[in-house]
Amino acid sequence: MDCCFAHGNDCAVAIAEHVGGSLEGFAELMNNKAIELGLVNTHFVTPHGLDDDNHYTTAYDLAVLTNYALNIENFINIVGTKTTSIMVGNYSRTITNTNELLGYVDGVYGVKTGFTGNAGRCLVTSCKRGNLDVIIVVLGADTKKIRGLDTRNVINYVFNNFEMVDTYEKIEFAFENFKNTQKISVNKSLGTPEIGYLDNYTYIYPINKNEISDLKTSIYTVTKIDAETPVGSKLGVMSLKYNDKILYSVDIVLKNNLSRTTWQDYFRIFLSNYKNYFKLNV
């Protein structure tokens, strides 16, 4: 589906020629960026997005692209501005953002409208309330009113039914319980393996308010390792599932060195066992 995200097409062409050297050069830059971002169903031909069979994208790819762009401060400032005044020569001109939700729907701070004959009315919206930040993409609407209504309906559904949930406490409880009930044996060593999980993940996710209790943790590790197993070795994985799908997984690793058992260790064990046996039989 084609989708135009530039209303000042002459300006888009001028910028493209300046940045890319030509329209083709700029399209190549855009397509390289699309590959970098993993937009596998997107291909650019022009900077203005007018209908072309080889110029296309999807709702999902637009959401990924928007998420990337919203990390750029200047971009956020531009798409979040409702009106501004600029000087054209000696004349002041006021320009207005065509996003009909900006300034009227609580939490909306962007992003972009679009229209072509084939794409219909399109709207990409970013909305944040509290710590829940979402991107909504509506494509192919017949009218501006319909695209705005569809977007508002999705916004209301999301914020009425979802909340950001910190799942760290759940996996920490499951992991501590696992350590207390499951043991990993070590070949040719008297050492006791200490295990932990790599704590460098984001544990906060949007979860349906009615399904928080459905979060489930699964833990799998090896049952036996060697004394030579180095610190940091992956011994297993811990996953958190939501709606029977893995929300995220973390690696379980060995945290301590394990020394190999020597003949002196065996001799000490023998003496200890012999003394205990002698005491029991005196």
Q: Grade residue 259 by pLDDT with cuts at 50, 70 and 90.
A: low
Per-domain boundaries in the chain: 9-164, 167-254
Q: Quick one: pLDDT at residue 268?
A: 54
In this predicted structure, the answer to whether residue 232 has a pLDDT above a threshold of 80 is yes
The per-residue pLDDT for range 129-183, each reduced to its tens digit, is 999 999 999 999 999 999 999 999 999 999 999 999 999 889 999 999 998 888 8
Residue 226 Cα distances to 53, 179, 238, 254, angstroms? 60, 19, 21, 11
Average pLDDT over residues 233-259: 89
Q: Quick one: pLDDT at residue 57?
A: 95
Amino acid making up residue 262: T
The tokens describing 158, both together, are 């999301």
The per-residue pLDDT for range 29-44, each reduced to its tens digit, is 999 999 999 999 999 9
The pTM score is: 0.75
The two domains 9-164 and 167-254 share their CATH topology (first three levels equal): no
Q: Grade residue 275 by pLDDT with cuts at 50, 70 and 90.
A: low
CATH topology of domain 9-164: Beta-lactamase (3.40.710)
The per-residue pLDDT for range 68-118, each reduced to its tens digit, is 999 999 999 999 999 999 888 889 999 899 999 999 999 999 999 999 999
Q: What percent of the chain has pLDDT over 90?
A: 61
User: Which superfamily does CATH assign the domain made up of 167-254 to?
Assistant: D-Ala-D-Ala carboxypeptidase, C-terminal domain (2.60.410.10)
Greater confidence (83 vs 257) lies with: 83
Q: Quick one: pLDDT at residue 155?
A: 97
User: Which of 43-57, 184-198, 220-234 shows the lowest mean pLDDT across its residues?
Assistant: 184-198
